């Protein structure tokens, strides 16, 4: 079992990811795709007159502040345009893909955080009305049912809170939780950079290898959203996933290249 997470930033080649995924699926591999959609969500939110708001926590992590209107835009893009666009690509390639959000069947579950602490102008504030959380539980029954029946699951946030409320969760950490729950052999975190860079954005500074027992020590090299990927990698290897690879989704055969050792390998 291989869990592949592909981001939603500019430059990602979804055609290349889907073509590689389809070839490996047809060769008999079991894969699950988890995707994001942040770039397109930002564009749509701007067009709808409700621009995105990003906040930074006191510990330095950046996330989207998700009020109810933002959540609805988020669902429209992630669960609609991006998810069905990927499913369509895979169907055209002969793969019987099924697109679901973590809300469906409560695949991803976690606690609803109504408020978030954010640092603004050097001061810590508490912002209320947030619809975010962290995946604490993965319900694998529906996923296993689909895989057994020959369907390739294509998953995306949001998740469900324990009360059944939709919550925005980080896709990389959700993918890590999924990989742990399914006892995956590998977790691939594909984005628009070749891996974790020691001196971002210098791609020549790529870090090739990270020891599994020392992942969090590399957080200092992670910029912005890459911090969540490193955190997700730490959670995955701690949960028993044999290797996590930060790979490049911009061209070529992204999945095959990552499994062959391109990018940053955590093992």
Q: Which residues are annotated as a binding site?
A: 64, 168
Is residue 11 within 8 A of residue 244, CB to CB? The reply is: no
Q: Which residues are annotated as a binding site for substrate?
A: 64, 168
Helices 38-47/68-75 angle, 10° precision: 120
Is residue 207 within 8 A of residue 264, CB to CB? The reply is: yes
Alpha helices in 103-140 (DSSP H): none
Task: Report the alpha-carbon distance of residue 12 to residue 160 in Å, rounded.
Answer: 27
Task: Report the alpha-carbon distance of residue 98 to residue 213 in Å, rounded.
Answer: 35
Q: Which residues pair with 187 in a beta bridge?
A: 3, 244
Residues 6+ apart with CB under 8 A from 170: 63, 134, 157, 228, 232
């Amino acid at each position: 079992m291989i869990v592949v997470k592909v981001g939603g930033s500019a430059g990602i080649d979804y055609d290349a990811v889907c073509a590689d995924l389809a070839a490996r699926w047809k060769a008999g591999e079991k894969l699950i795709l988890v995707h994001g959609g942040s770039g397109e969500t930002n564009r749509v939110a701007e067009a709808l007159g409700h621009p995105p708001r990003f906040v930074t926590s006191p510990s330095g992590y950046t996330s989207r502040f998700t009020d109810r209107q933002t959540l609805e835009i988020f669902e429209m893009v992630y669960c609609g345009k991006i998810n069905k666009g990927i499913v369509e690509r895979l169907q055209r390639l002969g793969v019987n893909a099924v697109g679901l959000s973590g809300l469906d069947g409560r695949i991803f579950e976690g606690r609803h955080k109504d408020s978030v602490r954010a640092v603004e102008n050097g001061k810590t504030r508490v912002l209320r009305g947030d619809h975010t959380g962290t995946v604490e539980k993965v319900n694998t029954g529906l996923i296993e049912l689909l895989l057994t029946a020959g369907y390739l699951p294509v998953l995306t946030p949001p998740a469900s809170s324990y009360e059944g409320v939709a919550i925005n969760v980080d896709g990389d950490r959700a993918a890590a939780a999924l990989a742990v729950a399914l006892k995956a052999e590998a977790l691939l975190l594909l984005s628009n950079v070749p891996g974790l860079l020691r001196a971002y954005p210098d791609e020549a500074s790529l870090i090739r290898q990270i020891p599994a027992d020392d992942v969090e020590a590399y957080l200092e090299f992670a910029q912005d959203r890459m911090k969540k990927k490193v955190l997700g990698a730490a959670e995955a290897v701690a949960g028993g996933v044999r290797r996590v690879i930060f790979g490049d989704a911009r061209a070529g055969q992204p999945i095959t290249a990552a499994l062959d050792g391109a990018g940053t390998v955590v093992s």
